[in-house]
Structure 1
Amino acid sequence: MKRHALAAALSTAAVVAGAAPAAPAQAAPFGTTPVSPSKTACGKAGFTDTVRCGAALTETFLRSRKAQGVVRETVIAPPAPSGLAWPSGPGVGSPFCGYADLPPILALGAHHCDRTTFILPRTDKERLFTDDVAATAVLIHESGHGMQEARGVDVVIPSLTGDSGRQKPMELSSDCWSGVGIRYLIGTGDLPAAAHGEASALFADIGSPADTLHGTGPERKAAFEKGYADGPAACNVIAGVRAFR
């Protein structure tokens, strides 16, 4: 499907869901709830605090790489039915961005575009944001797509069209980037040493032989471990583009 057709499909979904149009590249897209990153939320129980902790630790890591600008906002998408699309801002590789939760037709889970990381509680809460380590590993992975977009890579169209040849390297290199981040945060004391094994197990668990866009469990775990051991340069090799530093 062509880009304009995909954009039109998401825009139509927004109308069906009753969403109002959003200004391009606004800080918090219409209907979403902005997350307030906070390290004081770490160690507390509950989905909201877990997300706030993960967002804060992701910010800490990105600042260490002088890359904090790739994630302008982390937001929680509204309950179904909901959806919205808008053109991406300047300096972003993807032509447009959006979120959608329109069961049983479409559900865009945790994803990143236009400097915004989206979380869809219905699909992500029990699977990806179970504790501080999982939330941090996932949000650093999503920030990896921000790093890719900043280098002119389109991370939206390949995902929506099922182009595994283009999308899978972007996903595995973001898993790798998560490994870089988890190692850094263990080193600073923001995460315990056990976070290494926990995050690695998460990527092994969420991989699937049927998921041609993201990779199998062994592939995702191997990519994470590659980043943990060898740093950002290894992630660039996986991506096939110099997106990480």
Structure 2
Amino acid sequence: MTGRNLVAMVVVVLCLTGSVGVARASAEPAPWGTATVRGDISACADAATPMDNVVCAVALTRRWLEHTGHASVVRRTVEVSNPAAGLTWNPRNRDICVYAELGTLLNVGLHHCDTTTFFNRNTDAALIRTRARAVAAFAHESSHGVQEAVGLTPVSTTIFGPVEDLRRLELASDCWSGAAWSWYVSSGLLTVADRIEATAFMYSLRDQASHGTGVQRGRAFERGIVEGGAACDEILGRPAYT
């Protein structure tokens, strides 16, 4: 999500929370207007629909985080209805967490904050069209949970910048996704062909000042594949992943 969209979202949600209410993103039940998505590794074998791809990606992300000792950074994944909106406070890194799908006015889509990954199947249709895309995207989002766990503030950085800091957070997350893919393939959970598709997808992403060019993102992803989490720490500029 862009900084401009997130600023608009915060303003809209602040206006709405009087009638909608403020839900704790890290508490049960799921935040208002969302439904929890349960991961299922069996969906990876026979993924036939975008939601199958999501369910597979959620399950694989969970396994990756458990493998790396970061299981607590993603407590759940939820699908956001349209309309739905919420604003919460994350005491872990002293930052806000927001989500919103409000008709054609505001569609935030896939993002992560306060141990919750949020997505909308319509807004994020391009990201969940194939299994490889969904797995790459959800592993990327889990990185923001790792960043929050060490005190970084991806949401505030998205709003206020500077853009160089946000780009560093995003490229480190692309690297983290690549590291996850290396493990998925070596563990037999996915194939080399799947990884090649995911790599091509990363290189195809549109250029954004806040996230980097497609080439930068693809290269960060490949660094993660080859060098693992240590490369992601290097991109981030501080220890977080290892």
Q: CA RMSD in A?
A: 2.1
Asked whether the 8 Å contact 1:94–1:113 carries over to 2, the reply is no
Which runs of structure 1 show a deviation greater than 4 angstroms over 4 or more consecutive aligned residues?
5-8
The structure-2 alpha-carbon separation of the partners of 1:62 and 1:104, relative to structure 1 and needing over 3 Å to count, comes to same
Distance 2:148 2:231 in 1: 18
What do residues 33-60 of structure 1 show as CA deviations (whole Å, max 9, x unaligned)?
A: 1111001111221122211110001111
Distance 1:132 1:8 in 2: 31
**Superposition deviation, residue 11 in structure 1:** 3.0
Aligned-partner SS, 2:22:
coil
**Superposition deviation, residue 185 in structure 1:** 0.4
Aligned-partner SS, 1:123:
coil
Distance 2:136 2:239 in 1: 21
- Residue segments in structure 1 that go unaligned for 5+ positions in a row: none
Aligned-partner SS, 1:75:
strand
Worse-matched range after superposition: 149-158 or 197-206 = 197-206
Distance 2:220 2:135 in 1: 16
Matched to 2:69, the amino acid is K
The structure-2 alpha-carbon separation of the partners of 1:13 and 1:128, relative to structure 1 and needing over 3 Å to count, comes to farther
Distance 1:193 1:26 in 2: 38
**Superposition deviation, residue 104 in structure 1:** 4.5
**Superposition deviation, residue 26 in structure 1:** 1.5
Is 2:146 the partner of 1:147? yes
Which residue in the other structure is 2:235 paired with? 238
Which residue in the other structure is 1:83 paired with? 85
1:17-28 matches, cutoff 5 A: 19-23=20-24, 25-27=26-28, 28=30
What do residues 155-191 of structure 1 show as CA deviations (whole Å, max 9, x unaligned)?
A: 0011123531211000000000000000100011100
Distance 1:183 1:123 in 2: 28
TM-score between the two structures when normalised by the length of structure 2: 0.90
Distance 1:21 1:62 in 2: 28
**Superposition deviation, residue 241 in structure 1:** 1.8
The structure-2 alpha-carbon separation of the partners of 1:135 and 1:21, relative to structure 1 and needing over 3 Å to count, comes to same
Distance 1:219 1:185 in 2: 22
Report percent identity of matched pairs.
Answer: 35
Which residue in the other structure is 2:211 paired with? 214
1:10-159 matches, cutoff 5 A: 10-15=12-17, 19-23=20-24, 25-27=26-28, 28-42=30-44, 43-79=46-82, 81-88=83-90, 90-91=91-92, 93=93, 95-102=95-102, 104-125=104-125, 127-159=126-158
Distance 1:221 1:44 in 2: 25
The structure-2 alpha-carbon separation of the partners of 1:186 and 1:76, relative to structure 1 and needing over 3 Å to count, comes to same
Distance 1:167 1:160 in 2: 9
The structure-2 alpha-carbon separation of the partners of 1:107 and 1:77, relative to structure 1 and needing over 3 Å to count, comes to same
**Superposition deviation, residue 102 in structure 1:** 2.9
Distance 2:41 2:60 in 1: 7
**Superposition deviation, residue 19 in structure 1:** 3.0
Aligned-partner SS, 2:20:
coil
Aligned length: 235
The structure-2 alpha-carbon separation of the partners of 1:104 and 1:183, relative to structure 1 and needing over 3 Å to count, comes to same
Asked whether the 8 Å contact 1:62–1:68 carries over to 2, the reply is yes
Distance 2:77 2:12 in 1: 20
- Residue segments in structure 2 that go unaligned for 5+ positions in a row: none
Asked whether the 8 Å contact 2:38–2:55 carries over to 1, the reply is yes
The structure-2 alpha-carbon separation of the partners of 1:64 and 1:8, relative to structure 1 and needing over 3 Å to count, comes to closer
Distance 1:192 1:14 in 2: 45
What do residues 8-47 of structure 1 show as CA deviations (whole Å, max 9, x unaligned)?
A: 625335449x633313631421111111100111122112
